[in-house]
Structure 1
Amino acid sequence: MTAQDMIANNINPAFPTHPGEIIKDEIEYRGISQRQLADEMGIAYSALNEILNARRPITEKTALLFEAALGVNAEPLLKMQMRYNIQTTRKDASFMDRLAKVRRIAAAL
């Protein structure tokens, strides 16, 4: 653990949260079906289901559609997606090995 990891506002959860999980909880709380939301947003049910089950990322367009349909601000959803992407990438051992190699090469320049 580095000093930066120990800064109170810089704590990363053990398992990153995909923004689709938050939206899924919200529509369940409101009693909105996935099919109804997909129809309101004008997207395929399968695409919405993949987002809600963390198998597809939220894009700028889908974040704005969620904002329009549910009144949930798009920007925090996109920030959450970015954090999810970075945390997931940092758990990819082969990519982290590649990153370490690039850092060694860059340090030698």
Structure 2
Amino acid sequence: MMLDQNISEIFLAEPIHPGEMLQDELEARSLSQRELAAQLGVSPAFVNALIHGRKSVSVSLAMKLEKALEINASFWLNAQRNNNRTLAYQKAKQELEHLHVPAARHAELLQAVA
């Protein structure tokens, strides 16, 4: 069970979508969603969907965010990747809880999805 605990520590208890980070950045800069949308060349609805976790950060969007906000594209891509991995881990863990396998095998399966 120790293996399971160590893997759990890798992933956040609650995933943080990059849109949440973007919202914090907009507030810190007193920048509206509409203003950012204009800078990115996307609709305000798209920015709103991103902030609320309904859209993901693509390579193209990360590059646009880097240009508009001067925050490295890799930051946005890593944030999206970490969010995706945490969500996938939580889903896999939930699915494994319904299987009847020995505790040691359960830990191995969790390691495999990490």
Pairwise TM-score range, normalised by the shorter structure: 0.7 to 0.9
Counterpart of 1:82 in 2: which secondary structure? Answer: helix
Structure 1 residues 38 and 80: CA distance shift in structure 2, 3 A:
same
Contact 1:5 1:11 (8 Å CA) reproduced: no
The structure, 1 or 2, with the larger RCO (C-alpha pairs under 8 Å, 6+ apart) is: 2
Contact 1:90 1:96 (8 Å CA) reproduced: no
* Alpha-carbon offset, residue 77 of structure 1: 1.1
Structure 1 residues 54 and 2: CA distance shift in structure 2, 3 A:
farther
Distance 2:36 2:68 in 1: 8
Structure 1 residues 73 and 4: CA distance shift in structure 2, 3 A:
farther
Counterpart of 2:67 in 1: which secondary structure? Answer: helix
Q: Which runs of 5+ in 1 are unaligned?
A: 105-109
The one-letter code matched in structure 2 to 1:6 is: N
Q: Which runs of 5+ in 2 are unaligned?
A: 100-108, 110-114
The one-letter code matched in structure 1 to 2:6 is: M
Distance 1:3 1:94 in 2: 13
- Work out the number of aligned pairs and report it: 98
Contact 1:41 1:65 (8 Å CA) reproduced: yes
The superposition leaves residues 7-53 of structure 1 with CA deviations (integer Å, 9 ceiling, x where unpaired) of 7xx63210011111111100111100000110111001111111111
Distance 1:54 1:4 in 2: 28
**Aligned Cα root-mean-square deviation (Å):** 2.7
Question: Percent identity, aligned pairs only?
Answer: 32
Instruction: Name the TM-score, length of structure 1 as normaliser.
Output: 0.76
Moved more, 39-48 or 10-19: 10-19
The one-letter code matched in structure 2 to 1:43 is: V
Structure 1 residues 96 and 83: CA distance shift in structure 2, 3 A:
farther
Distance 1:11 1:89 in 2: 13
Instruction: Name the TM-score, length of structure 2 as normaliser.
Output: 0.73
Contact 1:16 1:88 (8 Å CA) reproduced: yes
